Each structure stands twice: as structure tokens, then as C-alpha cells.
Amino acid sequence: MTKKSNVNLLFFRAWPDTIESRAPLLSALQKIDTSFLMVSQHRFPDAFTTFVSALESALKAGLNTSTEKRADFKTLLDAAHKMHPNFTSIDSSQTRLLRDTRNTFEHFGFSPKDDSQSARLLLEIGVQLLDDWLSQAFALPLLDRSEKNGCLDWETGKHLRYSMRFFAKQAKEHEANFTHSVYTLGHSIRWRCRHSYMSDWESELANDWSAQADLSHHKKEQLQRLWLDHWNFDCPVCGEYEAFVCKLGDLCEDLQLEDIVIKEGLCVNCDFTLSPALSWMAQDLCSDQFEDALRGLTNA
């Protein structure tokens, strides 16, 4: 895999040398870019339908289907299974649900009540199916595997893996809101693309590191006064050193170490915010740093 200057992709670090001669593959990766941008704007049904469209383009490229020849999703998937019978563990009932939901959104529209279902299908079926197909047909998995590097850039791949992990946790819950699973992915993309949405003066201010440092320091002081019991961690999104201020549960003298938990958190640099309803996510994202802090208390 290599990069070429005349191929413009946002969230990929590598792609095949032959990508420009396999137009449907280039289209697939560009649609994945667009799908992730839609996630960052909380347009989850749009993200889902665009991702399924990316899957169709990837199937056409892997099957070497003529761009002039029209084939529906089922036909393409049947041909893929005929070429590579065991390329995925996703079964026919799941792919039918994926196809039917996409068609419903395309022909009849959607509403906010479809957000959670869109995020669920994207992660539960769409990502795995596309990852399996790209790996089989192009030796180009989306995410890193033991024997292969993924084609997504490191930051996007990291947060997509977070999303898959969060989804696995939420899938055990009753009536979970699966848009939470892609929360860090969306915020990471908004943070990385923030200058595209800024006016000139806002961009100039954002690039004034001294002013930003003063602002972050002021915000941290305010939070620390508000949250008397808190720990500071490196932000799991922007990576800023000790910028993620986490409120702890009320601490008392006889509290056991195992009872210390994160209640909520906010990054004073990128404004990544986890409310009390997402305390489980803060605990997960900061688990290594949290354990280090607990060991520090034990050794004190």
C-alpha cells in the first residue's frame, strides 16, 4: 500500500497503488470519509446510508464489476460470497436488515428516533462487513489486524476501535443509545477539522498558543474549584497533558480504593465532555491512568 499526491482522502494513511484504476474502490474510501464526517455532525442515518454505499462500491471494486453495469446490494453480496465463501461471519439476516434499513431511509427519509438504530447497524454490521471484505479482496482492512496494518490513519482507527468496544458493552444493555458508542469518534473528527469551521479571526486566535494556554489554565482552575474531589488525566481525544479534569465520587476518610470512581469529565483544551450518564466511558478511556493514580495512593 502507498500514498499518492493526487488521491485526496481525509482519514486514511494508505491505499493500493492501483486505486485510481479501480474507480469503485476510490469511491468507497471517499464515502467512508463522508460517513465519518456525518458522524461528527450527529447525522447518524446519513452516516449509515453513506457507509452502506461505500460497502457497495467496495464490493464492485473487489468483484471487478463494470462501473456501467448496475447491480443491487444483494446481487453484489451474493457474488462476493461466491468468490470468497467464508470472507465474513456476518449472516444473511443481518445483511438483509442492513439493506432494508438503508432502503427505508433512502426512499422514505428518517427522523431523530432512527439515530440509535443507525449507529447500531453501522457498528454491528457495516464496519465488520466492510472490514472483512477489504481485507479479503484487497489485503486492506480498515482496522489493524495481527498480521496487517489497517488503512485508516492512526487517530481515526483508534477511535473506531473505541466505538466497537463501547458498542460491545452497550449491546448488553436494555434500550441503549448507541450514538454514545461513536461519541469519541465524532468529537475527534470535529476537533481535527475545527479550523474548517472557523472564521479567520477565530483561526488566528486558535493558533495563538499562549492565549490558548491561558484559557485552558483558567478553565481548569474553575473546574477544580467546582469539583473539589478530582483527578487530572491526559485527554483521551486531543492527548493534551493532564487537560481532562475528572470529577470523582465523594471521597471520605474511610473510603476504600476500590470505591473510587470517575463521575464525569471535561477537557479544558478540546472541550471533550463526558456527563454523569457517560461516566462508564470516562472510566474506560482513563482506565490505565486511573490505575496509575490508585497505585500512587497505595504507595503514598
Using one digit for the tens of pLDDT, what is the confidence trace for 40-97? Answer: 999 999 999 999 999 999 999 999 876 556 788 999 999 999 999 989 999 999 999 9
Of 148, 166, 192, which residue sits at a domain end? 192
Same structural domain for residues 48 and 116?
A: yes
Contacts of 57 (CB under 8 A, 6+ apart): 24, 25, 27, 28, 31
pLDDT of residue 251: 62
Same structural domain for residues 30 and 144?
A: yes
**pLDDT under 50: residue ranges of the chain:** 2-4
Identity of the residue numbered 83? M
Q: Is residue 61 part of a domain?
A: yes
Same structural domain for residues 121 and 265?
A: no
CB burial readout 269-297, b (16+ within 10 A) else e? bbebebeeebbbbbbbbbeebbeebeeee
Same structural domain for residues 60 and 180?
A: yes
Q: What contacts 24+ positions apart, CB below 8 Å, involve 277-284?
A: 278/180, 278/183, 280/169, 281/166, 281/180, 281/183, 281/184, 282/246, 284/165, 284/166, 284/169
Q: Are 222 and 214 in contact (CB under 8 A)?
A: no
Same structural domain for residues 51 and 172?
A: yes
CA 263/CA 284 separation, integer angstroms: 12
pLDDT of residue 2: 47
Same structural domain for residues 53 and 178?
A: yes
Same structural domain for residues 178 and 224?
A: no
- The overall average pLDDT reported for the chain is 90
- pLDDT tens digits, one per residue of 133-148: 999 998 889 998 766 7
Q: Please count the structural domains in the chain.
A: 2
141 is in which domain, residue-wise? 19-192
Give how far Cα 72 sits from Cα of 53, 69, 78, 79, 259, Å. Answer: 11, 10, 10, 11, 54
Q: Is residue 5 part of a domain?
A: no
Q: Is residue 150 part of a domain?
A: yes
Rounded (5°) CA angle 25-167-273: 100
Same structural domain for residues 135 and 90?
A: yes
Q: Is residue 202 part of a domain?
A: no
Same structural domain for residues 137 and 75?
A: yes
pLDDT of residue 300: 59
Same structural domain for residues 60 and 88?
A: yes
Closest CA to 163 of 152, 147, 179: 179
